[in-house]
Structure formats: structure tokens, C-alpha cells
Amino acid sequence: MLGLQATAGNRATATFIQCARPVVARVPGATAVLHEHRGLTAGAAETTALVERLIGEMGWQKTSAWAYRFINADPATDLRYGGDAALVARCRDTLRAEITSRQQRVQWLTGHVTGDLNIAPARDGAFDSEADKETLDLLDQSEAKLRAELARYGLKVSGRVFKDYSMTGGPLQQGIRDNARDLAARRDTADGLGKSFTDAKRQYDRLRQPSGETPDTSGVLALTEAARRPWMDAEKAYREACNKAQATYSVLAAYTYGDDAADKLRELAARSPSDMAESLYKTIDERLENIKKVRAEIRESGGRYDPWKHPTIVNRTKPRLALAPWEARVVDERAIAARKGSGDDDAMMWAVIAIGLGLLSAIPTGGSGLVAGVAAGAAVLSTAYSLTTLYEHYKDYSLASAEHLSTFDQAEAISQEAPSLMWLAWDLLDLGMNVFGAAKAFQALRGAMAAAEKGGLKALPELIKATDQAGLGVAARSRVVGTVLANSGRTLQEMLQALRDGLAAAKPAPGKEALLEAIRVAAEKLSKRHIVRIGGSTTRGPVNGMVKALEESGKLRPGDDARNVAVRLIKDFNAGGRKTAGMYVEAYDLIMLRDNENLVGALTHEIAHRAQVIEKRFQALGTLRTEFQALHMEREILQMLPEDLVISADQKLLRMSSDEAIVNRIMDDSHYADLIAKEKIANPGMELLPDSKQDAAMIENWFLAGSAAR
């Protein structure tokens, strides 16, 4: 068949397949097709919801690329989508209309004709124009405020060569001095705590560097988090104090940002009346000059000012356009692309803009977010571990301030106490919840996940119930369960007990009782010495467990180092980013299992491969037939399990798959496709395509005869 494909093309091959063997009946009433693990329907509303969800998860560029791979696919390859050509065509037309409509909106918004947001567009979009207006409006307000400050403090300069500076004395001057002194002390405290955090963070990062086996970093991570919280509290207290002081003494905003803020504030507090007048006058005058420079860059055709590179401007412009959540995600993606690879000219522009935007923090309604934007801008010229930059990544967002921010900011706010679960916050927000509702659901799910980690497989129904109450879909539910099992830190014996519990819950269809018993017997016998657990948050457990299993196998060759072999096998298991659920290692007669929601199905799959090896047919059958047999057995056990134990979308799909769908699944996997192509070249006479009934009977008979447990 591969030879025909190489010489005659995909269309001839498809015709050959259709003519050469009967088409297995499709699932009755099928209304969806699966494209790269995402279900597509012909319904406009469902397609709209799916595309908006994918944009939220992956971004516009990856979503449009995913869509066009389906839209532009060769119709001759549509058999992989199940064989209902009319359904596939309807799904394709619906998705094409949806993506085309959104492409036009993205072009209007960002100026991009293609989906590549990394390339500067030939013309500005609507967002550029509004961002320029937003910047000019804010600069106008800043200039008016600064000129008012000059008058308020009575700041004056006299003399042509030797200049004398003066200001109104009394309470205003003393107030500036007292507040500057207080803020300097607060800034020193925050800087000290920030340094403690960066030291702890560097130590943690060093320990996480790949070195064959990842060390246990839990202790250092706990110390890092213990250092982060006091720093966050000190930064929050400092910014609240800045806002309070700047409400009365707005000019202080020019001194409170940047990594040298403490020094600037201390120097200001220690100045004599004339020196303070000079500092304030020059500071305000410099800001006024920089406002002119910024305005000129904005208004000049081809000027260097790019609003996309300034987070404060991007965030303040979004409300002007009343963006939908998916459009806000596109804006965020475009802004991130714009900030990548900024050169020296861009860095200098950042400094100029930062000085201009620094004036905005003098407006009392601006709040601490504006100061943060200035700090982020100034930090471009600072060190990699600049505290002002780090704070933007680690700050403790309040839900109140996040309510009107981007979905990314809201998700970060919700998951601030569990950053590794930020994806869960995304899923909840994607359901249409506001930030407060999503935060409440997030906390409830965290509690349910913690209980499930302690309770094991028996606790999963309650966890699934919690995901249903939150309204999570199948894919999100699968991630929740998978995360719980991966983080449970279960021992091998606990995982094996979970397997026994799962098999005990299986209910065979009439005539399948003996097959279920054969699977249970094989699983129990192999659990004594042939199964290795792969899971948890570090590799220490898996490596040590693999070493023990290798040593007990009696199959290590003279001179083999068990630890080196273990590390190599685990790397093979995780190679290429493949989410392998299980792997049978013939050389050592071991089954490696990833401790997740696929346990029972994955074990049955790998036992099937072991049976093929025991019967000395693994090589002769070839990849397509061995995988078909293993997937057949996995489907059999999944159909016996209660529905609430078939959790992942992949499991659910396999459970209802036809034989033909299983064959297409194997052929669509690039890993297996490569192996099949090589086998075709090496063994031209090999029977590649399985006879579904014959191969199913063959593997079931091996289980019934005890080969799987031998």
C-alpha cells in the first residue's frame, strides 16, 4: 500500500483501500469528527465556541494553523476522519467560514493580513490608532499636571549663568521631605526582601538544571516560596504608601519608581530648601521635555514609537475598543511578539517612554498599575534580576484589580497560590464565569484535587463530580484527574492497588467474562515483578524504582550499570514529548506505566504486546497489526469499565472507535507511520493491513491461553 501511495498518490491509495476491504460501519448518529484531538461539528455555534476556546488556550496563530490544516487537507485523506465524507465537508465549510471571519477581524484590529503576528504589518490596525490616541491623551494630562505642580510649589529659577532655584517653604516642603524619608525606608525593606527571594530563586533554578536525574527540590522550593511572600507584602505596602503620598504630593511619583528609588528618595529628603527646589524644578522640566519627544515620535510618520511594546498602553487601550475575550487574547499575543528581540534603539525608546509615562503615576486615579508599567519600562535597561521587573512576574494580584484586566491577568490572579494550575483558571474563565466566580470554583476544585490525591482511585468519582459541578468539559476534566494522579506521589504498591480496584470495577458484556478474568490474572501475576511506575513530580522515584526492577529482572548483561540503563529507558519513555501511557521493554521483560488516569487501559495494552513477544510473533506481525491488537484489547477493557472511570477524551474516543478508526489512528501517528514505512521497505511481502476479526481473535486467544501471564 505504501508503495502504491509513493507511485500513484493519496487518492489512488484511498480508492484501493475502499475497494480492497469492506468499510466497517461508522458509529450510528455520528455528528462530529476528530481533528488533532479536537472534536469538530457542522454547527456554527459549536464551532464558534471551540475556536474561541482554542484561541484562549493556544493563541490566534496556533489556532488558525490548526484550523487550516483541516481546511486545506487533501480530501483523499479524509478516511482518517471516520469515512462520512458529507459530514467532513460540512465541518470543513463551517470551520472555514468561522476562521475567515476571525481573520478579517484580526486584520482590522492589528493590521496583519496573515496569521503571523511576529511579522510587523504593512499598515496599522485599529488598535494602533487607539493606542496612539490613548498615549497622547495621557501625556496631555501629564503635562497639565506638571505645570500645575510648578505653580503649586512656587518653583522658580533666576540667573543666566549661575542659576538660583527657589520654592515656597512651609508645610508643602516639609511634607515632601517627610514622605520621601518614609518611602525610602519602605523601599529599602522591600529591596532587601527582594534580594533574599532572588537568591533563593537562583538556588532553586540551579538545582533544576538537567543532569541526568533531577534532584529533590521540594525543600528549596519551600524556602523560595517562604521568601517570596514577605517580599510581595512589602512591595504591596510600598506601593500603597506611594499612592497615598502621591495623592497629596504628586511630584513624588518621579522619584518612587526604578531600582534606585530608595537612593533618589533619600537624597530628596536630605536636601536643603534651595537644593530641593533645584531637584524638583529640574525633574519637572526634564519630564516636560521628554513629553515633547514622545509626542514627536508618535506623530511622526515612521517614528520609532510602537505602542505594542508598552504593557501599560496596551492594557489601557483595550477598554477603548470594547474587545471580546478572544480579541483581547489576540492583542496580548501581538504585544508579546512585538516585545521580542527589541534592539538598542528600542531600549532607548523604552527609556524615553518610561520617563514620559512616569508622569501618569502623578494622576491620583492612575493607581499603582501605572507605576508598575513605568518600572517595567525602565527595567529594560536594568539587570536581569531587576526587582522592579521581577515584581511584575511574582506580584500578588488582587481579584478586584484583575476583574477588568486581560484573561491572562485574571487567570494569574486566580491561581496566585497555585501557579502550576493556571491552566485550570483559564478553563474556568473560558466557561464565561467572572473572575470572582472562577476564583470560587478554582478553590473548590483545589480542595477536591487535594482530597483525591490522598484518597486515590476510590476518591476519583467525587473529584469528577466536582468537575461536573464546575461545568468543566471532558478535556479539562481529564487534565484535572491526570494532574492529581501525577502529583499524588503514590508508591508502586499504591498504583498497583489502584489497578486492582479499577479491574474489580469492570463489568464484562455477555461472553466476555473469561477474557476479563484472563486480564485480571495477567495483571496480578505481572504486578509481582514486571511493572514499573513512572509518575510524580520528580524523576528520583521512577529512577530508583526502575533500578530495583532491573536488578530483580535478572536480565542485566555483565557490565551494565543499572542506574544508567534506568535513566536511558526513562528518557526513551519520554522521548520527543510523546505522552506515552505505557511501554513494554522486551529486553528486560518490564512494563513501564505512567501513573495517570489511563492506568487500566494502558496496562492491558502493554500486556498484549508482552503476549505477542511470548508467542514469538511480535516482529512477524509488524507495527500496524501489533498496535491494532493492543488497541483492540485496550478498547475491550475500556468498554467493561464504568463510565466514570473512563476519564480522558482519548479513552472515550477509543472506547467507541470502530476497527477502521483504530487503523486510521495508527496510520495518522507519525511515530508509527515511520516504522510502518521502514518495514514495508525491508519486508516487501509483509501483510501490513490487519484482518480485524482474525487479529482480534488471535490476541484474545493468547490472553485466554495464559500467554499474557506466562
Per residue in 696-708, pLDDT (tens digit) is: 999 999 999 988 7
Asked if the model's pLDDT at residue 221 lies above 80, the reply is no
pLDDT at position 186, please? 93
| Predicted confidence (pLDDT) at residue 17 exceeds the cutoff of 50 | no
pLDDT of 606-652, one tens digit each? 889 989 998 998 888 888 899 999 999 999 988 998 876 776 667 77
Q: What is the pLDDT of residue 30?
A: 52
Asked if residue 117 lies in contact with residue 60, where contact means CB atoms within 8 angstroms, the answer is: yes
Cα distance between residue 111 and residue 103, in whole Å: 11
The mean pLDDT value for 159-167 works out to: 78
Grid cell 502621591 in the structure block, residue: 246
Give pLDDT, residue 10.
Answer: 45
pLDDT score of 356: 47
For residue 266, pLDDT beyond 80: yes
- Of the candidates 456, 467, 462, the residue with the CA atom closest to the CA atom of residue 491: 456
Q: Are 254 and 362 in contact (CB under 8 A)?
A: yes
pLDDT digits (tens, 9 = 90+) for 403-443: 445 555 667 667 766 666 777 887 787 777 776 678 888 88
Q: What per-residue confidence (pLDDT) applies to 344?
A: 42
**pLDDT score for 629:** 93
In angstroms, rounded to a whole number, what is the distance separating the alpha carbons of residues 598 and 200? 37
pTM equals: 0.46
**C-beta of residue 372 within 8 angstroms of C-beta of residue 261:** no
d(CA 468, CA 513): 32
* Span 678-694, average pLDDT: 78
225: pLDDT strictly greater than 70: no
DSSP structure string for 217-279:
-HHHHHHHHHHHHHHHHHHHHHHHHHHHHHHH-GGGGGTSSSTTHHHHHHHHHH--HHHHHHH
For residue 571, is pLDDT > 80?
Answer: no
- What does each C-alpha distance from 510 to 67, 178, 507, 517, 656 come to in angstroms? 43, 86, 9, 13, 18
Q: What integer best gives the mean pLDDT of the chain?
A: 74
DSSP state of 33: E
CB 277 within 8 A of CB 167: yes
Is residue 460 within 8 Å of 645, Cβ to Cβ?
yes
Q: What is the DSSP string of 341-353?
A: T--HHHHHHHHHH
Residues 317 and 127 sit within 8 Å (Cβ to Cβ)? yes
Coil, helix or strand for 39?
Answer: strand
* CA geometry: angle 694, 20, 634, nearest 5 deg: 35
Q: How far apart are CA 428 and CA 471, in angstroms?
A: 8
Q: Give the per-residue pLDDT at 312.
A: 72
Res. 230: pLDDT tops 50: yes
CB 344 within 8 A of CB 350: no
Query: What is d(CA 629, CA 605) in angstroms, rounded to the nearest whole number?
Result: 8
Pairing outcome for strands 531-534 and 590-594: parallel
Q: 29 falls in which pLDDT band (50, 70, 90)? A: very low
